[in-house]
Each structure stands twice: as structure tokens, then as C-alpha cells.
């Protein structure tokens, strides 16, 4: 049963790589507009949890529910479609398309979903302005700073107005000043649109931007408010 009011929830998630369990009976839930920091050392299973929640990889056991739908019962095409429409992603190194300008990168998710170019670029420019990087809209990723590139990546993640944003070490490649600005812009924008944010990090200063923290260690999850799950 999905926890009442939750947007995304996992129950009894298990995932192993060979004899090593990455996730061991994990329970997780997040509500609309909530930012949850998933913390833990390298190799603890936190990125595996994010990938299972986003439907990128399938767990060995357990279920993931998004609203009334069960992700773990969907086929690859259904999960891919959901990631294009309802989920947004921000990665540590941005993963922008190097051949495209900032404007084209942000417009890309809309274009892939069938939005006409002019309208897609109009919406993209709105998000570039909101993320304070409209001045680099005609530049390619190799021509901008790391902080600027990551703001473009955040704009791309939010342009579809996703219901869930998955951010995997989004400031790991940035200095503290740029990192704080990116986190402020990301979390403020997500809360304004009532998007839930799953924020994977190993840094307490990053987790401070969340509403709630959980810690993944040896495949188990500890909710810092509720104790061991």
C-alpha cells in the first residue's frame, strides 16, 4: 500500500550485484513538493536506490509505485515514456549535449515530446531566465563555466514541469559558491511547481537544502526523523 499522500513510494526494494546487496528491503516515500536528501558513503546503495525509483534499473524484489501506477510492473517502453514526461534528471556533470546550444539543450525534452520548435524554445528561454543563464543561451557546453552548465542542466530537468526530479550529486563538480546557487535555484523552482526532489548526496551542506534526510548504509535505509526503516 502506497503511504497516504505520497507521490512516489518503494516497498521492500532489494537489489544485488553478485553476492553483494546494494539494497536490502528498502522502504521509501516522497510527497509532492518535498525535497528528500538521500545520503551515504560511496558504494552504500544511494545511486542504486535513485535508479530503481526512476525506473532506470529494475529491482530484484519489491515494488515502486508512482501515484496509482506500479513502475516495477511496466515494460521498458512505458518506463522510458514516463521518464520523458513526468520525471526530470540532474546529474553530477550535467550531461548536456555538446553539439547543442544552451537553449537547444533545454528545449530538447520538449522537442522529443512533440512540441514545435518555436514553442519549445520559448519555454526553454523562460527557464534559462529563471535559472539566471539566459545570457549564455547561444553558447555550447564547452564554452560556459561549470556552474553555468549545471544551471542549464537544471533548466532542462524542469522545462517539462516534471512531478519528480532526480538529482544525483548535482553539485559534486562545483565549488561551494556555485553549488549553493544551483541548489537554491533547483529547490526553489521545484517547490514552486510542487515537484518532488530526490537529492542524492554525500555532503551535509547539500542535504541542508532538503526537507528530510535519509541515510543509506549497507543496503539499509535510516530515516533521520523516524529511525531505522
Model confidence, pTM:
0.91
Residue 165 forms part of a structural domain: no
Number of structural domains found in the chain: 1
* pLDDT of res. 2: 54
Residue in the block written with cell 524542469:
158
Low-confidence ranges of the chain (pLDDT < 50): 1, 226-229
Predicted confidence at residue 229, as pLDDT, reads 41
131 in a domain, yes or no? no
Residue 160 belongs to some domain of the structure: no
Q: Are 132 and 185 in contact (CB under 8 A)?
A: yes
pLDDT (0 to 100) of residue 225: 60
In a domain? residue 166: no
Would residue 121 count as lying in a domain? no
220 in any annotated domain: yes
Per residue in 152-201, pLDDT (tens digit) is 999 999 999 999 999 998 888 888 888 899 899 999 998 999 999 999 99
pLDDT of residue 226: 46
Q: Has residue 206 been placed in a domain?
A: yes
SS3 content of the chain, % helix, strand, coil (to 5): 40, 25, 35
CATH number at residue 25: 3.40.50.300
Amino acid at each position: 500500500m502506497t503511504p497516504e499522500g505520497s507521490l512516489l513510494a518503494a516497498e521492500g526494494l532489494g537489489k544485488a550485484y553478485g553476492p553483494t546487496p546494494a539494497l536490502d528491503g528498502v522502504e521509501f516515500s516522497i510527497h509532492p513538493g518535498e525535497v528528500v536528501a538521500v545520503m551515504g558513503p560511496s558504494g552504500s546503495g544511494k545511486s542504486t536506490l535513485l535508479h530503481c525509483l526512476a525506473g532506470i534499473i529494475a529491482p530484484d524484489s519489491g515494488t515502486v509505485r508512482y501515484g496509482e501506477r506500479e513502475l516495477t510492473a511496466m515494460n521498458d517502453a512505458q518506463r522510458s515514456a514516463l521518464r520523458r514526461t513526468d520525471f526530470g534528471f540532474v546529474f553530477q556533470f550535467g550531461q548536456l549535449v555538446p553539439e547543442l546550444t544552451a537553449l537547444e539543450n533545454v528545449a530538447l525534452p520538449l522537442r522529443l515530446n512533440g512540441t514545435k520548435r518555436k514553442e519549445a524554445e520559448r519555454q526553454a528561454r523562460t527557464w534559462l531566465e529563471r535559472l539566471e543563464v539566459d545570457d549564455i543561451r547561444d553558447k555550447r557546453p564547452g564554452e560556459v563555466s561549470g556552474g553555468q552548465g549545471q544551471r542549464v542542466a537544471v533548466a532542462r530537468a524542469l522545462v517539462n514541469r516534471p512531478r519528480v526530479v532526480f538529482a544525483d550529486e548535482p553539485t559534486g563538480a562545483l565549488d561551494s559558491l556555485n553549488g549553493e546557487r544551483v541548489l537554491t535555484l533547483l529547490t526553489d523552482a521545484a517547490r514552486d511547481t510542487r515537484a518532488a526532489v530526490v537529492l542524492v548526496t554525500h555532503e551535509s551542506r547539500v542535504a541542508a537544502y532538503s526537507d528530510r534526510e535519509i541515510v543509506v548504509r549497507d543496503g539499509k535505509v535510516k530515516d533521520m526523523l523516524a529511525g531505522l526503516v
